[in-house]
Chain A
Amino acid sequence: MTVPSSTPADSGKQIALRAPSALDLRELLRRNQTARAALALLLLLLYNAFFTTNFLSVGTFNANLTQVATIVIVAVGMTFVIATGGIDLSVGALMAIAGVIAPMFLREANQFGAPWIGLVLAFVAPVLITGLCGLFNGTLVTWVGLQPIIATLVLFLAGRGIAQVLVNGQLIEFRNLGSPLVAQFEFIGLGSIFGIRFQIILMAVVVAVAAWVLASTVFGRYVLATGGNESAARLAGVPVRRIKLAVYTISGLLSGLAGLIVVAINRSADPHAVGELMELDAIAAVAVGGTPLIGGQATMVGTLLGALIIQLLRFTLISHNVSDGLARIVIAIVIVVAVMLQRQRSS
């Protein structure tokens, strides 16, 4: 809100209006975290293009983007929540809930009259349920007045428990469901359109819609106003409570969608593993992308770039035989550097 240059739309305008000179670019990089994230991603891509064998191939493209798609989808919801000054720790647990509920509808495919109803329910019901869980988070934050970190800690713990209890802790393998709908359901994680994996397209749509909502709708302005100065926003007539309820609900819905993709890719639902540590990946993507965790400013394109940087960094390190442990340390350092750069700008 306070620094207009940080929204993606404005930075786009800056580039479009002026002729790109070295000075302008330097100014942009100095002031804009999203521009820095884009540059970092570009450098990573160039490095890999030269030094990683077989990097420029459809296989590598699909492999990297399929891995990052669920993180991006969850991180988009997280960006909305963080923009209001909140945080959502429950996203991974909600993914697990959606992941174990979907197979229940697949298994009972014949109970709904027509098979396609079962298929639709397998997609819609889990997402609606996690949306309700998000609404529950929002209710705790707005009506009960709990701090977001504690409010969502409740479902972080209980949500994983619900997923485990629902299936008695068992891994559900789709091939054992005996359902004719499994192949159609798995399209969300394994299908392709024109050679591009379906969840990549889904991810792109989610980011595009969210970026539009944040930058060009009243709702988006209200979200940023709520995070910028809540009491001022309330006095200015922003329905702060409704906005907060909405962002936690959006986060829940998107977590459910990501959960469906994960179980479709795995062709099984593991209540312990689905979405584990997703809250950390999503928050890291948001922070690296340039959205400050105090709220009031946000960039969806930045979140996408942040997730891509972390993914590509991990890919680069691992494909050059750096161990998983060392890769995590490097990523941690990148996160710290990103927030330090961001602080430098604001001070």
Chain B
Amino acid sequence: MSSLSLGYGEDQEAVRASARAIALIQRQGALIALIVLALGGWLRYGANFVSPYNIFDAFLNSNSYYALIALGMAFVIMSGGIDLSVGSVTAMSAVTAAQLSGYGLVPAAAGAIGIGLATGIVNGVLIGQFKLQSFVITLATLLAGRGMALVLSNNAPVMVDFSAGFPSLGTTRVGPVPLPVVIVAVLYLLGAILLRFTRFGRHVLAIGGNEEAARLAGVPIERTLLIVYAMSGALAGLAGALLAALSYSGSPTSAVGWELSAIAAVVVGGTLLTGGVGSVGGTLVGVLLLGLIFNALNFEQAQGVFQLNVFWENLIRGVFLLIVVVFQSRLARRLGAGAT
């Protein structure tokens, strides 16, 4: 502040400034990494990297389903729970969408979202009303959802019927932007508004922060959790519809393990798994960052400097997750906010 102030005050000021910087890095670290990676990619790979095709199709469009699942997962995690069923729900919904694709876009998409919503409601009732652990319940619906996908599809991928225009869900464009990307953008905007500016959003964070305190403060726990899991299920259902529209088929064995990728994206985006804290924007950044790493890796392959086959993908994803969460927990500890 003033140049004449005593050392003690300056120290305090410096400490406060560094605490602010740490808090900023913890909250926005993923965003900073995303910007650095994007700029680095532009410098290294040139115009192809920033071409509309790479940005909208190769990168954003192919990450649209992860983005939808991660949005629902973010709300679940902020409420202090976890939803392991979303990968299975995506597969089940993709099968449903493919089977209903002959009736047209709206019935197919509605069927896919509906079956996801129904699974989410089952999760929400068992976790909210019956007070069962989210981890075990959604593990059970993970199994049941995969089973239902196999039953519905008769154990084989279902081809999409093109006649009624269902694939237009994936191929329609708004200007240069594919429709799935527009849907994701709109839903993230709605999600951010829901979290920041509505009573529901505050209730979610209150439950995740301290469920008992929230109950005593009059937060409707059962109803809020029901909505949170229903949202997660419906978003996974929509992801299934997009998957069917973009891949022209609904496979009962698709989307295995996506729940864990979504959890990784949410955590990378700065949402704490302990619940009570989180952001929708951060989750989007987490999804984009994990996606951009592979986009950049593809370009790196094309440059031919070093060759990494597709099997490095899991390894890199795991190592990246490790770096981010270790970094975050160190920062969180220095802030005195407790461990992640």
A interface residues with partner B (beta carbon < 8 Å): 87, 89, 140, 144-147, 149-151, 153-162, 164-165, 168-169, 271, 277, 280, 283-284, 287, 293-294, 323-329, 331-333, 335-336, 339-340, 343
Residues of B within 8 A of A325 (CB): 146-152, 155, 252
Within 8 A of A (CB), among B132-181: 132-133, 135-137, 139-144, 146-152, 155
Interface of A is mostly: helix
Within 8 A of A (CB), among B263-282: 263-264, 267, 273-274
Q: Is the CB of B340 within 8 A of A147?
A: yes
Residues of A within 8 A of B312 (CB): 161, 165
Residues of B within 8 A of A153 (CB): 260, 263-264, 318, 321
Q: Is the CB of B140 within 8 A of A154?
A: no
Interface centre among A150, A155, A165, by most B CB within 10 Å? A150
Number of inter-chain CB pairs below 8 Å: 150
Q: Is the CB of A162 within 8 A of B315?
A: yes
- Bound form: Cα–Cα A323–B150 in Å: 9
- Bound form: Cα–Cα A107–B86 in Å: 41
23 A–B pairs (Cβ distance < 8 Å), ordered by A: A144-B326, A146-B339, A147-B273, A147-B274, A149-B82, A149-B135, A150-B267, A154-B318, A160-B314, A161-B317, A165-B315, A277-B256, A280-B143, A293-B133, A293-B136, A294-B133, A325-B147, A325-B150, A325-B155, A328-B147, A328-B150, A329-B151, A332-B143
Residues of A within 8 A of B152 (CB): 325
Q: Is the CB of A158 within 8 A of B314?
A: yes
Which size bracket describes the interface of B in this complex?
35 or more
Residues of A within 8 A of B273 (CB): 147, 149-150
- Measured CB to CB, the closest approach of chain B to A252, in angstroms, equals 15
B interface residues with partner A (beta carbon < 8 Å): 82, 126, 130-133, 135-137, 139-144, 146-152, 155, 252, 256, 260, 263-264, 267, 273-274, 309-319, 321-322, 325-326, 329, 333, 339-340
Residues of B within 8 A of A336 (CB): 126, 132, 136-137, 140
5 A-B pairs closest in CB distance: A158-B318, A161-B315, A328-B147, A325-B150, A161-B314
- Bound form: Cα–Cα A50–B267 in Å: 52
Q: Is the CB of B147 within 8 A of A327?
A: yes
Q: Is the CB of A293 within 8 A of B135?
A: yes
